[in-house]
Amino acid sequence: MGRGKKRSVQDVPIFLDDKFFRELQDIVQRVRWDYKTNREQFWMRDQALVCLFILSGLRVSEAIRIKKRQTRDYHDHILLAYLVTMKRGLTRKVVLPKKGRFAWFTGVFENWLRLVPSEDSYIFPSGSQFGFNWEKPLSRKRVFWIIKTTTGLFPHWFRGVCETIYGRLIFQSDAWKLKEFMGLKRLDSTSPYVRGSWEEDLQRIYEV
């Protein structure tokens, strides 16, 4: 993957296979900022945030505002509710599955969530050499700096990855469902992520 300019998901060839999901795991594990103290916990926080971007497609400014009380942990998924988007106050609900190829990413998020001390705590708190300040969220600028420096990618790239996975594998190129899931205002915003390939129907040539 290249470095430098802000990336769009269309810039990167995405094959939605097992290898691609392993590559995503490798990217998550590269999120290891050179903290001077409490490294393991800071890395857990940062990697959980990147996993949430992949699982939900949330914008940075949306993700850092989430508090623990907006989550419910069930046996096969974690539910995030009342997520306020930056698009005129639309709200979203997101399911983080504990099965399938998303399970590894949900596990990283879940392990961090267990360390969040109270319902009123921000899930992604700011921190210092003295530990976390659970009453104050990470800043948007700090998130951009950590992720861009450690992975070479902008946080918005992960939003595009999420839209592609949901658009093609889960919603089967249903643009309306993708729009509702992502909390988008315009249907045409989904167009880069729901385009199919003629090769998907290649088997039908043998049925003519």
Domain assignments of the chain as residue spans, ordered by start: 16-155
Q: Residue 74 above 50 pLDDT? A: yes
Look at 165 and 120; give whichever has higher pLDDT: 120
Closest CA to 155 of 173, 171, 138, 131: 138
Closest CA to 93 of 104, 109, 82, 102: 82
Least confident segment among 18-27, 130-139, 167-176:
167-176
Residues paired with 78 in a beta bridge: 73, 96
Q: Residue 24 above 70 pLDDT? A: yes
Contacts of 187 (CB under 8 A, 6+ apart): 175, 176, 179
Q: What is the pTM of this model?
A: 0.82
User: What are residue 153's phi and psi, to 5 degrees?
Assistant: -120, 150
Look at 131 and 163; give whichever has higher pLDDT: 131
Q: Are 101 and 24 in contact (CB under 8 A)?
A: no
Least confident segment among 35-44, 107-116, 160-169, 190-199:
190-199
User: Per-residue confidence at 1, pLDDT binned at 50, 70, 90?
Assistant: very low
Q: Which CATH number fits domain 16-155: 2.40.160.10, 3.90.1150.10, 3.40.50.620, 1.10.443.10?
A: 1.10.443.10
Longest CA–CA span in the chain (Å) reads 69
Look at 100 and 163; give whichever has higher pLDDT: 100
